[in-house]
Amino acid sequence: MDVAGPYDRAKALSAFKLGDSVFYWATRISAISVLLILGGIIISLIIGAWPAMREYGFAFLWTERWAPAADPPVLGAVGPVYGTLLTSLIAMAIAIPVGLGIAVFLTELCPQWLRRPIGVAIELLAGIPSIIYGMWGFFVLGPFLADTFQPFMIRICEGVPVLGTIFGGPPSYLSLFNASLILAIMVLPFITAISVDVFKTVPPVLKEAAYGVGCTTWEVVRSVVIPYTRVGVIGGVMLALGRALGETMAVTFIIGNAFRVSGSIFAPGTTISAAIASEFAESDGLHQSGLMLLGLLLFVLTFFVLAGARLMLLRLEQKAGK
């Protein structure tokens, strides 16, 4: 017994060390593999885009014309980049207030019996495939907007400076605004779900103290809930923005695939992802390289957006720490 005891303890300790070492290296390899995959994607995009980069240089960034059938081909990124930024901006302008409003209603005002149905509906919206959104936008939303909403906005804004250009006609089933509205509906569940989760982390004592000194629900949300959870809310918004920037199939269905810059949001347009999806299968040579360069631009654009969001969150956390 005296000999077996120390022997068994040493054997068990050796097994623990082996298991801990295997766990350490498995997690480390998994983390490094993410960097390797990301680096591989960047390298493959650069290799594929290099012929277009060598041919067009920085002029690719400010050339509006997109004519791959010309001799020689003329390719420019202005139209897709403009469409990507504009549709994402409009989508977030619609989705952020609506998503936060739903989250506030669910956490502060909603009756208990109604929370479950609304929560399930939000989960269903998040789970619908993007191609279904695109088909619904093409067959239902597009005709409705072109027949009712767009003529109304064109009529009341006609002759008004700036607004007359932004909401200029003619109405169209396929437009930047229609694609933006589809994007807003698609990213809405992300903003709502994350906001609901972070709103629930607010200590009840803080809200009870605010109500105790006579604050209204709006004042509690504005002065207690939002400041306490702003880091999480901004994180959810940036996650939704990343989804909006890269969405492909739903936008391809309803945006019109027009490589041009228009002052009207009711005009057809395109985005980087929609341009790649609609033309990559039939492309080759310099045309294909130009599409790869568009993909590289989208990668860089998304990286800077997410990096900016991370810096913003760090600054907010530092201010909260002070």
Q: Write the DSSP string, 206-262.
A: HHHHHHHTT--HHHHIIIIIHHHHHHHHHHHHHHHHHHHHH--HHHHHHSB---S--
* DSSP single-letter state for residue 141: I
pLDDT-based confidence at 128, cuts 50/70/90?
Answer: confident
Q: pTM here?
A: 0.86
pLDDT of 153 above 80: yes
pLDDT tens-digit profile of 175-233? 999 999 999 999 999 999 999 999 999 998 988 898 888 888 898 999 999 988 888 89
Burial (0-12, 13-18, 19+ Cβ within 10 Å), 106: buried
pLDDT of 56 above 60: yes
Rounded distance, CA 230 to CA 199, Å?
A: 9
End-to-end alpha carbon distance in the chain: 60
Give the tokens for residue 21: 């070492």
pLDDT tens-digit profile of 75-86? 888 999 999 999
Sorted by where each begins, the domain ranges of the chain are 4-56, 61-321
pLDDT tens-digit profile of 272-303? 999 998 888 888 888 999 999 999 999 998 88
**pLDDT number for residue 1:** 45
- 69: CB partners within 8 A, 6+ apart: none
- Collapse the DSSP code of 160 into the 3-class scheme (helix H, G, I; strand E, B; otherwise coil) and give the result: coil
The answer to whether 263 and 187 are in contact (CB under 8 A) is: no
**pLDDT number for residue 22:** 84
Q: What is the CATH T-level fold of the domain 61-321, as seen in this structure?
A: MetI-like fold (1.10.3720)
Question: How confident is the model over 101-106, as a mean pLDDT?
Answer: 92
**pLDDT number for residue 266:** 92
**pLDDT number for residue 308:** 81
